[in-house]
Amino acid sequence: MADSALFESTPGEADVLSVLPTFDEDPTSVSHDIPEDDLLRMHRVMTLTRALDERGMRYQRQGRLGFYLPSFGEEALQIGSAYCFEDDDWMFPHYRVPGTALWRGAELDQMVANLFGNRDDNGRGRQMPVHYTMSEINWVSVSSPLGTQVVQAVGTARAMQIRGEKKVAVTYFGDGSSSTNDFHTGMNFAGVWKAPVIFFCNNNRWAISTPFEQQCAARNLAEKAIGYGMPAMRVDGNDVLAVAQATRSAVEHARAGNGPVFIEAMSYRMGPHSSSDDPTVYQPAGEREEWQRRDPIARFRRYLTGTGVMTEDEVKGIEEECAEIVLASFKRNEQVEKPTLESLFEDVYAKMPDILREQSDFLVAFEGGEVREDTSGAEFPL
Protein backbone atom coordinates (compact mmCIF):
# COMPACT_ATOMS: atom_id res chain seq x y z
CA MET A 1 0.00 0.00 0.00
CA ALA A 2 1.18 3.48 -0.80
CA ASP A 3 2.41 5.54 2.05
CA SER A 4 -0.33 8.07 2.69
CA ALA A 5 2.32 10.63 3.61
CA LEU A 6 3.16 10.72 -0.09
CA PHE A 7 -0.13 12.38 -0.79
CA GLU A 8 0.39 15.00 1.84
CA SER A 9 3.34 16.60 0.10
CA THR A 10 2.45 19.21 -2.50
CA PRO A 11 4.89 21.44 -4.36
CA GLY A 12 6.07 24.04 -1.92
CA GLU A 13 6.66 27.73 -2.26
CA ALA A 14 10.34 26.85 -2.32
CA ASP A 15 9.75 25.72 -5.92
CA VAL A 16 8.59 29.15 -6.94
CA LEU A 17 11.45 31.23 -8.31
CA SER A 18 11.04 34.25 -6.11
CA VAL A 19 8.49 35.59 -3.68
CA LEU A 20 8.29 39.30 -3.11
CA PRO A 21 5.77 39.82 -0.30
CA THR A 22 6.03 43.58 -0.10
CA PHE A 23 2.42 44.29 0.93
CA ASP A 24 2.21 46.86 3.70
CA GLU A 25 5.93 47.60 3.78
CA ASP A 26 7.09 51.20 3.96
CA PRO A 27 6.91 52.13 0.25
CA THR A 28 9.99 54.32 0.42
CA SER A 29 12.16 51.42 1.56
CA VAL A 30 12.14 49.74 -1.88
CA SER A 31 15.42 49.71 -3.77
CA HIS A 32 15.44 49.74 -7.56
CA ASP A 33 17.35 51.19 -10.49
CA ILE A 34 14.46 52.71 -12.47
CA PRO A 35 15.39 56.18 -13.78
CA GLU A 36 13.37 59.11 -12.43
CA ASP A 37 11.84 59.97 -15.83
CA ASP A 38 10.45 56.46 -16.03
CA LEU A 39 9.04 56.71 -12.50
CA LEU A 40 7.25 59.90 -13.48
CA ARG A 41 5.84 58.34 -16.63
CA MET A 42 4.72 55.27 -14.69
CA HIS A 43 2.86 57.50 -12.27
CA ARG A 44 1.28 59.47 -15.08
CA VAL A 45 0.03 56.40 -16.97
CA MET A 46 -1.31 54.80 -13.77
CA THR A 47 -3.18 58.02 -13.07
CA LEU A 48 -4.46 58.22 -16.65
CA THR A 49 -5.70 54.63 -16.44
CA ARG A 50 -7.59 55.44 -13.24
CA ALA A 51 -9.05 58.57 -14.83
CA LEU A 52 -10.24 56.59 -17.86
CA ASP A 53 -11.93 54.05 -15.59
CA GLU A 54 -13.57 56.68 -13.42
CA ARG A 55 -14.96 58.54 -16.40
CA GLY A 56 -16.05 55.31 -18.11
CA MET A 57 -18.03 54.19 -15.07
CA ARG A 58 -19.61 57.63 -14.64
CA TYR A 59 -20.67 57.84 -18.28
CA GLN A 60 -22.19 54.38 -18.05
CA ARG A 61 -24.11 55.31 -14.90
CA GLN A 62 -25.36 58.45 -16.63
CA GLY A 63 -26.72 56.31 -19.46
CA ARG A 64 -24.24 57.72 -21.97
CA LEU A 65 -22.32 54.44 -22.46
CA GLY A 66 -23.82 50.96 -22.76
CA PHE A 67 -21.14 49.16 -20.80
CA TYR A 68 -17.87 49.71 -19.02
CA LEU A 69 -15.35 47.49 -17.25
CA PRO A 70 -12.85 49.16 -14.90
CA SER A 71 -9.44 48.02 -13.69
CA PHE A 72 -9.54 49.85 -10.35
CA GLY A 73 -6.77 48.64 -8.05
CA GLU A 74 -4.83 46.87 -10.80
CA GLU A 75 -2.93 49.83 -12.23
CA ALA A 76 0.45 48.91 -10.73
CA LEU A 77 0.57 45.44 -12.20
CA GLN A 78 -0.39 46.81 -15.61
CA ILE A 79 2.15 49.60 -15.79
CA GLY A 80 4.95 47.86 -13.87
CA SER A 81 4.85 44.93 -16.26
CA ALA A 82 4.27 46.86 -19.50
CA TYR A 83 7.35 48.93 -18.63
CA CYS A 84 9.57 45.88 -19.15
CA PHE A 85 8.74 45.08 -22.77
CA GLU A 86 10.22 46.42 -25.98
CA ASP A 87 7.92 48.10 -28.49
CA ASP A 88 8.17 45.20 -30.92
CA ASP A 89 7.31 42.55 -28.33
CA TRP A 90 3.72 41.34 -28.61
CA MET A 91 0.97 41.75 -26.02
CA PHE A 92 -2.07 39.49 -25.80
CA PRO A 93 -4.25 41.24 -23.23
CA HIS A 94 -7.48 40.49 -21.47
CA TYR A 95 -10.06 43.17 -20.87
CA ARG A 96 -8.64 44.42 -17.54
CA VAL A 97 -5.30 45.84 -18.72
CA PRO A 98 -6.04 49.07 -20.67
CA GLY A 99 -3.07 50.68 -18.91
CA THR A 100 -0.67 48.38 -20.78
CA ALA A 101 -1.91 49.91 -24.04
CA LEU A 102 -1.65 53.44 -22.67
CA TRP A 103 1.91 52.68 -21.58
CA ARG A 104 2.73 51.62 -25.14
CA GLY A 105 1.44 54.91 -26.48
CA ALA A 106 -2.09 53.97 -27.51
CA GLU A 107 -4.17 56.93 -28.66
CA LEU A 108 -6.64 57.71 -25.89
CA ASP A 109 -9.14 58.96 -28.49
CA GLN A 110 -8.94 55.64 -30.28
CA MET A 111 -9.76 53.79 -27.07
CA VAL A 112 -12.64 56.10 -26.19
CA ALA A 113 -13.98 55.76 -29.75
CA ASN A 114 -14.28 52.03 -29.05
CA LEU A 115 -16.36 52.76 -25.94
CA PHE A 116 -18.88 54.69 -28.02
CA GLY A 117 -18.60 52.38 -31.04
CA ASN A 118 -18.55 55.47 -33.25
CA ARG A 119 -17.23 56.08 -36.76
CA ASP A 120 -13.71 56.74 -35.52
CA ASP A 121 -13.56 53.38 -33.75
CA ASN A 122 -11.09 51.13 -35.56
CA GLY A 123 -13.40 48.20 -34.71
CA ARG A 124 -16.29 50.15 -36.32
CA GLY A 125 -18.58 49.50 -33.38
CA ARG A 126 -18.47 45.73 -33.76
CA GLN A 127 -16.68 44.95 -30.54
CA MET A 128 -17.85 45.31 -26.96
CA PRO A 129 -16.69 48.45 -25.17
CA VAL A 130 -13.25 48.01 -23.53
CA HIS A 131 -12.41 45.30 -26.08
CA TYR A 132 -9.77 47.43 -27.74
CA THR A 133 -7.67 46.41 -30.71
CA MET A 134 -4.37 48.14 -31.45
CA SER A 135 -2.14 46.23 -33.80
CA GLU A 136 -0.10 49.40 -34.42
CA ILE A 137 1.38 48.98 -30.94
CA ASN A 138 1.57 45.16 -31.11
CA TRP A 139 -1.40 44.93 -28.76
CA VAL A 140 -3.75 42.23 -30.00
CA SER A 141 -7.58 42.55 -29.79
CA VAL A 142 -9.20 41.70 -26.48
CA SER A 143 -11.31 38.57 -26.88
CA SER A 144 -14.35 37.97 -24.68
CA PRO A 145 -13.86 34.19 -24.41
CA LEU A 146 -11.48 33.80 -21.48
CA GLY A 147 -8.09 32.24 -22.07
CA THR A 148 -8.07 32.38 -25.87
CA GLN A 149 -5.30 34.99 -25.75
CA VAL A 150 -3.07 32.54 -23.88
CA VAL A 151 -2.73 30.13 -26.79
CA GLN A 152 -2.47 33.00 -29.26
CA ALA A 153 0.51 34.35 -27.30
CA VAL A 154 2.19 30.96 -27.16
CA GLY A 155 1.71 30.41 -30.90
CA THR A 156 3.16 33.82 -31.66
CA ALA A 157 6.10 33.26 -29.31
CA ARG A 158 6.77 29.91 -30.95
CA ALA A 159 6.69 31.51 -34.41
CA MET A 160 9.15 34.21 -33.33
CA GLN A 161 11.38 31.52 -31.85
CA ILE A 162 11.38 29.53 -35.10
CA ARG A 163 12.26 32.68 -37.06
CA GLY A 164 15.13 33.34 -34.69
CA GLU A 165 13.73 36.71 -33.60
CA LYS A 166 14.70 38.00 -30.19
CA LYS A 167 11.18 39.10 -29.35
CA VAL A 168 8.94 37.92 -26.56
CA ALA A 169 5.18 37.72 -26.14
CA VAL A 170 3.23 38.38 -22.98
CA THR A 171 -0.29 37.33 -22.19
CA TYR A 172 -2.42 38.82 -19.43
CA PHE A 173 -5.27 36.90 -17.84
CA GLY A 174 -7.09 36.63 -14.55
CA ASP A 175 -7.13 33.99 -11.80
CA GLY A 176 -10.47 32.70 -13.11
CA SER A 177 -9.03 32.25 -16.59
CA SER A 178 -6.52 29.75 -15.18
CA SER A 179 -9.43 27.30 -15.15
CA THR A 180 -9.80 27.33 -18.94
CA ASN A 181 -8.57 24.64 -21.29
CA ASP A 182 -6.61 27.23 -23.24
CA PHE A 183 -4.60 28.21 -20.17
CA HIS A 184 -3.40 24.63 -19.66
CA THR A 185 -2.81 23.98 -23.36
CA GLY A 186 -0.79 27.16 -23.67
CA MET A 187 1.25 26.55 -20.55
CA ASN A 188 1.99 22.98 -21.57
CA PHE A 189 3.27 23.71 -25.05
CA ALA A 190 5.13 26.85 -24.02
CA GLY A 191 7.00 24.65 -21.55
CA VAL A 192 7.66 21.93 -24.11
CA TRP A 193 8.90 24.38 -26.76
CA LYS A 194 10.63 26.73 -24.34
CA ALA A 195 8.74 29.48 -26.12
CA PRO A 196 9.65 33.09 -25.26
CA VAL A 197 6.38 33.98 -23.54
CA ILE A 198 5.47 35.53 -20.20
CA PHE A 199 2.27 34.34 -18.57
CA PHE A 200 1.13 37.28 -16.52
CA CYS A 201 -1.71 36.42 -14.18
CA ASN A 202 -3.65 39.22 -12.48
CA ASN A 203 -4.77 37.38 -9.40
CA ASN A 204 -7.39 39.84 -8.20
CA ARG A 205 -9.04 37.11 -6.07
CA TRP A 206 -12.36 37.19 -7.88
CA ALA A 207 -13.76 35.92 -11.18
CA ILE A 208 -16.98 37.92 -11.25
CA SER A 209 -18.62 36.41 -8.12
CA THR A 210 -16.40 33.31 -7.82
CA PRO A 211 -13.73 33.70 -5.14
CA PHE A 212 -10.23 32.33 -5.65
CA GLU A 213 -10.83 29.41 -3.24
CA GLN A 214 -13.61 28.08 -5.49
CA GLN A 215 -11.39 28.38 -8.55
CA CYS A 216 -8.23 26.65 -7.45
CA ALA A 217 -7.42 23.90 -4.95
CA ALA A 218 -3.70 24.65 -4.97
CA ARG A 219 -2.35 27.17 -2.49
CA ASN A 220 -1.54 29.54 -5.28
CA LEU A 221 -1.41 29.71 -9.07
CA ALA A 222 2.36 30.05 -9.38
CA GLU A 223 2.81 26.47 -8.25
CA LYS A 224 0.94 25.26 -11.33
CA ALA A 225 3.78 26.46 -13.52
CA ILE A 226 6.14 23.95 -11.92
CA GLY A 227 4.09 21.14 -13.43
CA TYR A 228 4.56 22.66 -16.87
CA GLY A 229 8.31 22.88 -16.44
CA MET A 230 8.67 26.61 -16.16
CA PRO A 231 9.81 28.93 -13.40
CA ALA A 232 7.24 31.04 -11.62
CA MET A 233 7.16 33.94 -9.26
CA ARG A 234 4.61 35.66 -7.09
CA VAL A 235 4.78 39.37 -6.72
CA ASP A 236 2.90 42.08 -4.87
CA GLY A 237 0.79 43.32 -7.78
CA ASN A 238 0.00 46.58 -5.99
CA ASP A 239 3.64 47.62 -5.89
CA VAL A 240 4.62 48.95 -9.31
CA LEU A 241 8.33 48.76 -8.50
CA ALA A 242 8.16 45.14 -7.37
CA VAL A 243 6.14 44.22 -10.47
CA ALA A 244 8.71 45.89 -12.71
CA GLN A 245 11.55 44.10 -10.95
CA ALA A 246 9.86 40.70 -11.30
CA THR A 247 8.76 41.21 -14.90
CA ARG A 248 12.15 42.47 -15.98
CA SER A 249 13.87 39.33 -14.74
CA ALA A 250 11.20 37.19 -16.43
CA VAL A 251 11.60 39.01 -19.74
CA GLU A 252 15.39 38.68 -19.61
CA HIS A 253 15.01 34.95 -18.98
CA ALA A 254 12.64 34.47 -21.91
CA ARG A 255 14.53 36.73 -24.32
CA ALA A 256 17.77 34.89 -23.62
CA GLY A 257 16.14 31.70 -24.95
CA ASN A 258 15.54 30.04 -21.58
CA GLY A 259 11.82 29.58 -22.10
CA PRO A 260 8.62 30.87 -20.54
CA VAL A 261 8.03 32.33 -17.08
CA PHE A 262 4.82 32.51 -15.09
CA ILE A 263 4.13 35.58 -12.94
CA GLU A 264 1.32 35.67 -10.41
CA ALA A 265 0.67 39.28 -9.46
CA MET A 266 -1.30 39.40 -6.22
CA SER A 267 -3.87 42.15 -6.27
CA TYR A 268 -7.53 42.87 -5.74
CA ARG A 269 -10.40 43.94 -7.98
CA MET A 270 -11.26 47.18 -6.22
CA GLY A 271 -14.35 47.81 -8.35
CA PRO A 272 -17.19 45.79 -9.81
CA HIS A 273 -16.45 43.16 -12.44
CA SER A 274 -18.15 45.49 -14.89
CA SER A 275 -20.91 48.09 -14.95
CA SER A 276 -23.38 45.18 -14.98
CA ASP A 277 -22.17 43.80 -11.64
CA ASP A 278 -22.84 44.61 -7.98
CA PRO A 279 -20.08 43.06 -5.83
CA THR A 280 -21.78 44.08 -2.56
CA VAL A 281 -24.09 41.07 -2.94
CA TYR A 282 -21.20 38.56 -2.83
CA GLN A 283 -18.01 40.12 -1.44
CA PRO A 284 -17.56 39.84 2.32
CA ALA A 285 -18.18 43.12 4.13
CA GLY A 286 -15.02 45.10 4.70
CA GLU A 287 -12.89 43.21 2.18
CA ARG A 288 -12.76 45.97 -0.37
CA GLU A 289 -12.06 48.58 2.30
CA GLU A 290 -9.12 46.51 3.50
CA TRP A 291 -7.68 46.46 0.00
CA GLN A 292 -8.37 50.11 -0.58
CA ARG A 293 -5.71 50.73 2.06
CA ARG A 294 -3.33 49.06 -0.37
CA ASP A 295 -4.43 51.14 -3.35
CA PRO A 296 -1.48 50.89 -5.76
CA ILE A 297 -1.69 54.50 -6.89
CA ALA A 298 -1.82 55.85 -3.33
CA ARG A 299 1.10 53.62 -2.49
CA PHE A 300 3.22 54.83 -5.40
CA ARG A 301 2.32 58.39 -4.54
CA ARG A 302 3.63 57.81 -1.00
CA TYR A 303 6.84 56.50 -2.54
CA LEU A 304 7.24 59.42 -4.95
CA THR A 305 6.48 62.14 -2.44
CA GLY A 306 8.36 60.36 0.36
CA THR A 307 11.52 60.17 -1.71
CA GLY A 308 11.21 63.69 -3.12
CA VAL A 309 10.60 62.65 -6.75
CA MET A 310 7.32 64.60 -6.76
CA THR A 311 5.55 67.05 -4.49
CA GLU A 312 1.93 66.59 -3.39
CA ASP A 313 1.00 69.55 -5.59
CA GLU A 314 2.61 67.96 -8.63
CA VAL A 315 0.74 64.73 -7.97
CA LYS A 316 -2.52 66.65 -7.74
CA GLY A 317 -1.66 68.51 -10.93
CA ILE A 318 -1.17 65.24 -12.83
CA GLU A 319 -4.47 63.90 -11.50
CA GLU A 320 -6.35 66.99 -12.65
CA GLU A 321 -4.64 67.01 -16.02
CA CYS A 322 -5.42 63.33 -16.66
CA ALA A 323 -9.06 63.80 -15.64
CA GLU A 324 -9.35 66.73 -18.05
CA ILE A 325 -7.71 64.90 -20.96
CA VAL A 326 -10.05 61.97 -20.48
CA LEU A 327 -13.18 64.09 -20.14
CA ALA A 328 -12.30 66.02 -23.29
CA SER A 329 -11.89 62.78 -25.19
CA PHE A 330 -15.25 61.47 -23.95
CA LYS A 331 -16.98 64.70 -24.93
CA ARG A 332 -15.41 64.62 -28.39
CA ASN A 333 -16.22 60.99 -29.03
CA GLU A 334 -19.78 61.28 -27.78
CA GLN A 335 -20.44 63.72 -30.62
CA VAL A 336 -19.00 61.51 -33.36
CA GLU A 337 -21.62 59.80 -35.53
CA LYS A 338 -22.23 56.07 -35.37
CA PRO A 339 -20.89 53.87 -38.20
CA THR A 340 -23.13 53.60 -41.27
CA LEU A 341 -25.50 50.66 -41.58
CA GLU A 342 -23.62 49.52 -44.68
CA SER A 343 -20.46 49.21 -42.65
CA LEU A 344 -21.99 46.08 -41.09
CA PHE A 345 -21.28 44.32 -44.37
CA GLU A 346 -17.85 45.75 -45.08
CA ASP A 347 -14.31 44.60 -44.26
CA VAL A 348 -14.97 40.91 -44.87
CA TYR A 349 -14.38 40.59 -48.62
CA ALA A 350 -12.00 42.69 -50.72
CA LYS A 351 -14.87 42.94 -53.22
CA MET A 352 -18.31 42.58 -51.71
CA PRO A 353 -20.25 39.63 -53.25
CA ASP A 354 -23.61 40.48 -54.87
CA ILE A 355 -25.56 38.58 -52.24
CA LEU A 356 -24.14 40.76 -49.49
CA ARG A 357 -24.64 43.91 -51.54
CA GLU A 358 -28.34 42.97 -51.93
CA GLN A 359 -28.73 42.39 -48.21
CA SER A 360 -26.98 45.64 -47.44
CA ASP A 361 -29.23 47.59 -49.83
CA PHE A 362 -32.28 45.89 -48.36
CA LEU A 363 -31.31 46.74 -44.79
CA VAL A 364 -30.68 50.37 -45.64
CA ALA A 365 -34.04 50.62 -47.45
CA PHE A 366 -35.80 48.81 -44.59
CA GLU A 367 -34.35 51.03 -41.91
CA GLY A 368 -35.06 54.07 -44.06
CA GLY A 369 -38.75 53.05 -44.16
CA GLU A 370 -38.74 52.45 -47.92
CA VAL A 371 -39.57 48.76 -47.50
CA ARG A 372 -42.15 47.66 -44.93
CA GLU A 373 -41.53 43.93 -44.90
CA ASP A 374 -38.94 41.41 -45.96
CA THR A 375 -39.69 40.88 -49.64
CA SER A 376 -36.45 39.06 -50.36
CA GLY A 377 -38.21 35.67 -50.18
CA ALA A 378 -35.69 34.31 -47.71
CA GLU A 379 -37.01 32.17 -44.87
CA PHE A 380 -35.80 32.52 -41.34
CA PRO A 381 -33.68 29.38 -40.82
CA LEU A 382 -35.34 27.81 -37.78
Ligand X SMILES: Cc1ncc(C[n+]2csc(CCOP(=O)(O)OP(=O)(O)O)c2C)c(N)n1
174 binds Mg ion (CB under 5 A): yes
**Residues 29 and 307: beta-carbon distance below 8 Å:** no
Per CB under 6 A, which of residues 136..175 are in contact with ligand X? 144-146, 173-175
E strand or H helix at 174: strand 169-174
Which whole-number Å values give the CA distances from 329 to 60, 83, 281, 334, 360, in the listed order?
15, 25, 33, 8, 32
Q: Which amino acid is at 127?
A: Q
What mask of x and - would describe binding to ligand X in positions 211 to 250, judged by CB under 6 A?
A: ----------------------------------------
Query: So which residues are the catalytic ones?
Result: 269, 273, 282
Looking at residue 205, the DSSP 8-state letter turns out to be: S
Q: Report the C-alpha gap between 289 and 266 in whole angstroms.
A: 17
User: Contact region for Mg ion (CB under 5 A) — 167-175, 191-199, 306-314, 348-356?
Assistant: 167-175
Interface pick for ligand X out of 81, 152, 202, 267 (rule CB under 6 A): 202
The nearest distance, CB 267 to Mg ion, in angstroms, is: 9
Interface pick for ligand X out of 206, 303, 330, 345 (rule CB under 6 A): 206
175 binds Mg ion (CB under 5 A): yes
Q: Is 135 helix (H, G, I), strand (E, B) or coil?
A: helix
Selection from 270, 301, 294, 234 nearest residue 23 by Cα: 294
What mask of x and - would describe binding to Mg ion in positions 199 to 238, judged by CB under 5 A?
A: -----x--x-------------------------------
Q: Report the C-alpha gap between 322 and 48 in whole angstroms.
A: 5
Q: Is 160 helix (H, G, I), strand (E, B) or coil?
A: helix
267 binds ligand X (CB under 6 A): no
Q: In the complex with ligand X, which residue's Cβ is closer, 78 or 204? A: 204
Q: In the complex with ligand X, which residue's Cβ is closer, 204 or 329? A: 204
Residues 6+ apart with CB under 8 A from 279: 206, 209, 269, 271, 272, 273, 288
177 binds Mg ion (CB under 5 A): no
53 binds ligand X (CB under 6 A): no
Q: Report the C-alpha gap between 161 and 194 in whole angstroms.
A: 9
For Mg ion, the binding residues (CB under 5 A) are 174-176, 204, 207
For ligand X, the binding residues (CB under 6 A) are 96, 144-146, 173-177, 180, 202, 204, 206-208, 269, 273
